[in-house]
Amino acid sequence: MRSPCPPPPGRSAELRKRFAEEVRCERPGLSALCLLVAAEGDGRLDEAGMDAVEIELDRLAGELPHRPGSPHAWAVALRDLLGERYGFHGLPDDYRRLESSLLHEVLRRRRGLPILLSVVWIEVARRAGAPVYGVALPGHFVVGFGASEGPGAGQVLADPFDGGRVLTGSDAELLVAGATGGPLEPSMLAPAGTLDVVARILNNVRAWAAARPERTDVGLWALDLALLLPSRPARLRYERAQLLVQRGEFTVGAAELEAYAEIVEPVDPAAATRIRGEALAARALLN
């Protein structure tokens, strides 16, 4: 299957405007933002398709038992529904597919990256009234139910990538140790904010594109959306300028390198000088 391609410029501009408005809401919607990311990544996703995703999430929530009870009961109910009945899970091959980061494709294929499968879990559980949130463990995103102070305080973790398997404390420790080689810290179990989840999804898209030099278009739209987030690293502007040069857009890329050099000069004059040198080199490629 051919990897999805971004939409036409007019549609893209509209999606980015809506994304910028949504991220500045008092309570930005997770599914809404994920669908705007998906529509920017896949020009085939139209308004009817976006609505269909929300309707499907509503339908799945309606199949959950009414108020299962404890956080553990909620986790088991989601596992039974999404993991066992509908077969949502992940496989290593999903890390090699752009579709694994696009919500509508994850819902269609019932496969995806841990963070997108967690979005499905969160959105279905939230609609049913569960005390649910994402937990951004290093290298592996999972879902939390109940109190957020850790397993000893009643927190229950589930791994949607593994079909919603309910994790023990030692399971979480092993996941962290496998990713970092270090111990599980209490701060790692804190709920992930909506914009943090979206930023991590966009990071995954950028990483996918960075490994495929022929898909700089994907890296560029992911960067453009990341730059619309209220809190983002200034270095993203430098990354965008470099990507423009890589794409052969030397004049625009050089101008952005020069603008970034102005930003960093007060704190790192040596870096500013180096970046200006990159801008000069980019302009020289025009000759």
**Which residue in the block uniquely carries the two structure tokens 């939409």?**
7
Residue 150: the pLDDT is: 55
Q: What whole-number distance in Å separates Cα of residue 238 and Cα of residue 267?
A: 15
Residue 140 sits at the vertex; the CA angle it makes with 136 and 141, to the nearest 5 degrees, is: 45
**Cα 61 from Cα 217, distance rounded (Å):** 35
Based on its alpha-carbon atoms, the radius of gyration of the chain, rounded to whole angstroms, reads: 21
146, β-bridge pairs:
none
Per-residue confidence in pLDDT tens, the chain, 287 aa: 567 888 999 999 999 999 999 999 999 999 999 999 999 999 999 999 999 999 999 999 999 988 888 999 999 999 999 999 999 999 999 999 999 999 999 999 999 999 999 999 999 999 999 999 999 999 899 999 997 665 555 899 999 999 999 998 889 889 888 888 888 888 999 999 999 999 999 999 999 999 999 999 999 999 999 999 998 888 999 999 999 999 999 999 999 999 999 999 999 999 999 999 999 999 998 86
- Cα three-residue angle 132-137-138, rounded to 5 degrees: 160
pLDDT for position 112: 97
Q: Is residue 27 a contact partner of residue 33, using CB atoms and an 8 Å limit? A: no
| 216 Cβ contact list (under 8 Å, min separation 6) | 209, 243, 246, 247
Confidence (pLDDT) at 66: 81
Place of tokens 């994907």: 218
DSSP-based three-state secondary structure for 89 = strand
Measure the CA–CA gap between 277 and 261, rounded to whole angstroms.
10
| C-alpha to C-alpha distances, 6 to 204, 225, 238, nearest whole angstrom | 16, 13, 22
Which DSSP category does 111 fall into?
B
Q: In this structure, are residues 128 and 64 in contact, taking their beta carbons and an 8 Å threshold?
A: yes
The angle formed by the CA atoms of residues 214, 197 and 16, to the nearest 5 degrees, is: 60
Q: Enumerate residues 6+ apart whose C-beta is below 8 A from 79.
A: 158, 163, 164, 165, 166
- Alpha helix stretches (DSSP H) within the chain: 9-23, 30-41, 47-62, 71-78, 103-109, 114-127, 169-180, 194-210, 216-226, 235-246, 250-264, 269-284
Q: Which residues neighbour 224 within 8 Å (Cβ) at sequence distance 6 or greater?
A: 16, 240
- For 60, residues 6+ apart whose C-beta sits below 8 A from its C-beta are 81, 82, 86, 124
